[in-house]
Structure 1
Amino acid sequence: MSPDRGPLHVAGEVLSVKRIGAHHHVTVVAPGIAERFRPGTFVVLTLDDAADTARLQPRSFWIHRVRPTGSHGATIELVVAAGSRFTRRLVALPQGSPVRVTGPLGRPFAQPREPVSCLLVGEGYAAAPLFPLAERLRERGCTVSVLLAAPDEAHLLGALEARRTARSVTVVTADGSVGVRGTVVDALPELLTRSAADVVYAAGPVATLHAAAAAAEQHGAWSQTALETAQPCGTGLCQGCPVPVVAEDGVGRLVRACTDGPVFRGDRVRWLEVDAR
């Protein structure tokens, strides 16, 4: 990777925290990182203001958006599910709070060189990296269809936003509170046929990624999956985020999610072993 495209370690600050449904959208000023962003990359945050920082391990987050904000320059927006001690502390930070940011990290989504039909499959807050991807694909002349899933309406991410980019948007929720009652598994076969998808991009829980990869393979489409897993350092040094895959030579190997991923070809991941981790 060329020096101007590599990750940066910067002193950032929280510009805003907005709760939308069950999720928090955190906008962070991180000089230089937005300019190097590509869909599918992520950042690692370290909280500087915590009294017990030593016990709060840095956390990785998908980059959901990069936005210009006048005097602050380009900022990054993260979608946060406030479940852990780290994320609860993060979303409670007031404007101007310092955070250390490393990024952008990881391998991004590979984008087709020619216009093709693409189906984007996302579930919950983990669908965050699909939104900038949809914009880039549309700029390349691709036909974009989107499937968004969630347990309920509160956990659904960006259905209205997706409609501004995609040719069609299908929403499924487990409780039927919005869209069609069902799951990704229920909706995929018909959507793959209707969209005539050449490429399936997926972001969400492991079960969703597995289902998307399997359905794409059965349909004869190529798939890419954004795997969210614990990444203690985000740089590959700690070897703490192993992912079982089948390499090009057909041999099973463990690779690092943070540097060899987090985006993987769906047909290369040994999903049953990931499920068991």
Structure 2
Amino acid sequence: MANPVVVRAEVVGTRADGPARRVTVRCATAAARFRPGHFAALTAPAGSVDVLRHAVPVLRADGDTLDLLLPADPPPLLDLIAPLGTPYPQPDAPGCALLLGEDTQAGPLLALAEQLLAAGSQVAFVLAAESAGRLYGVEAARELTADVLLLTADGSAGLPIGDDPAALFDQALGALDADLLYAAAGPGLTAAAVAAATARGARSWTAVAAELPCGTGLCLGCVLPVRDADGVSRLVRACTEGPVFDGARVRWGGLDTVPADVEGAGE
């Protein structure tokens, strides 16, 4: 987990960013600790009956500011904890990475791609959404690489996702000779991409799309089954042990259940 700070952060800018709002806050200590994959937890709006914080993606750090992705414009001051979670790990040596992003979940992958490129790796994007209007970061991705594939469920942009997305990911990984997969997508697309990567011997790192009611591990509302290195499946918290996991170890078919073979399930 990151080394977060609890701060009252000033909002210094907001603008439309695809289907969401990009909100820039001044928070020098948190910005210095940010790595792609981290998130922030905000308090509920004033007057709300919800006492929990709300987890939001951190898009990037720039000097003493953080860019957050929110559904609407916030008040001028935000009470937040950041950075939180486990970020995407960097490869030990330059390679070729395929970055899969679905809808606004794709946001943190742009800063990750910049980091990978700076370290000498090659990158390619697969950006997916239900429809063309829900695609996120297309132009920003194209500024980083010519290899940008669009997928939509309704076929309104790029290729249709279809019934066999694993075949699409297999073709993309093979065409690139990619040895890394980074994903920030729903469980369906992520599981398909991980299966294709694993079959090709590529390593995968995936941000699990889970509800993070508090963002700090206290509420236990984001547990999921993950297979550890010893082969035993255990329930872990997406907000503290993740949200980024080794994709091959996540029990994708059991995200909303407690599989019978999970340690402690029968107790």
Q: Normalising by the residue count of structure 2, what TM-score does the alignment of the two structures yield?
A: 0.89
| Partners of 1:139 and 1:31 in 2: CA distance | 23
Match of 1:77 among 60, 67, 71: 67
Q: AA paired with 1:134?
A: A
Tell me what 1:231 maps to. 212
8 Å Cα contact 2:102/2:129 also seen in 1: yes
* Deviation of the 1:100 alpha carbon: 0.6
| Partners of 1:127 and 1:141 in 2: CA distance | 21
Tell me what 1:270 maps to. 251
Match of 1:25 among 12, 16, 22: 22
| Partners of 1:174 and 1:276 in 2: CA distance | 26
Match of 1:10 among 7, 12, 29: 7
Q: AA paired with 2:214?
A: C
| Partners of 2:227 and 2:252 in 1: CA distance | 10
TM-aligned CA distance change 1:56 to 1:125, over 3 Å: farther
Q: State the secondary structure of the residue aligned to 1:210.
A: helix
8 Å Cα contact 1:143/1:167 also seen in 2: no
Alignment of 1:178-197 (within 5 A): 178-182=157-161, 184-185=165-166, 187-197=168-178
* Deviation of the 1:24 alpha carbon: 2.1
4+ runs deviating over 3 angstroms: 183-186
* Deviation of the 1:246 alpha carbon: 0.8
| Partners of 1:186 and 1:79 in 2: CA distance | 31
| Partners of 2:97 and 2:36 in 1: CA distance | 15
Match of 1:50 among 35, 43, 46: 46
8 Å Cα contact 1:30/1:101 also seen in 2: no
* Cα deviation 1:155-185 (Å, max 9, x = unaligned): 1111110122235111122223322333554
| Partners of 1:207 and 1:66 in 2: CA distance | 30
Q: Which moved more, 1:32-41 or 1:21-30?
A: 21-30
Match of 2:183 among 198, 202, 205: 202
8 Å Cα contact 1:12/1:31 also seen in 2: no
| Partners of 1:29 and 1:254 in 2: CA distance | 35
Q: State the secondary structure of the residue aligned to 1:261.
A: coil
* Cα deviation 1:9-37 (Å, max 9, x = unaligned): 00013233322332222222233211110
Q: How many residues align?
A: 256
Structure 1 regions of 5+ residues with no counterpart?
Answer: 69-73, 83-90
8 Å Cα contact 2:102/2:127 also seen in 1: yes
Indicate the percent of aligned positions where both proteins have the same amino acid: 41
* Deviation of the 1:41 alpha carbon: 0.8
Structure 2 regions of 5+ residues with no counterpart?
Answer: 259-267
TM-aligned CA distance change 1:233 to 1:275, over 3 Å: closer
| Partners of 1:276 and 1:230 in 2: CA distance | 14
* Cα deviation 1:184-242 (Å, max 9, x = unaligned): 54531210110111010000111122111111111211101001212233222333321
Match of 2:54 among 19, 39, 59: 59
Q: State the secondary structure of the residue aligned to 1:128.
A: helix
| Partners of 2:183 and 2:99 in 1: CA distance | 6
Q: Normalising by the residue count of structure 1, what TM-score does the alignment of the two structures yield?
A: 0.86
Tell me what 2:202 maps to. 221
Q: Which moved more, 1:149-158 or 1:261-270?
A: 149-158
Tell me what 2:129 maps to. 150
| Partners of 2:152 and 2:214 in 1: CA distance | 34
| Partners of 2:192 and 2:40 in 1: CA distance | 26
* Cα deviation 1:86-114 (Å, max 9, x = unaligned): xxxxx1435xx211110101111111121
| Partners of 1:222 and 1:240 in 2: CA distance | 28
8 Å Cα contact 1:207/1:275 also seen in 2: no
Q: State the secondary structure of the residue aligned to 1:64.
A: strand
Q: Does 1:114 align with 2:93?
A: yes
| Partners of 1:208 and 1:79 in 2: CA distance | 22
8 Å Cα contact 1:134/1:166 also seen in 2: no
Q: State the secondary structure of the residue aligned to 1:267.
A: helix
8 Å Cα contact 1:244/1:254 also seen in 2: yes
Tell me what 1:41 maps to. 38
Q: AA paired with 1:26?
A: V
TM-aligned CA distance change 1:42 to 1:92, over 3 Å: closer
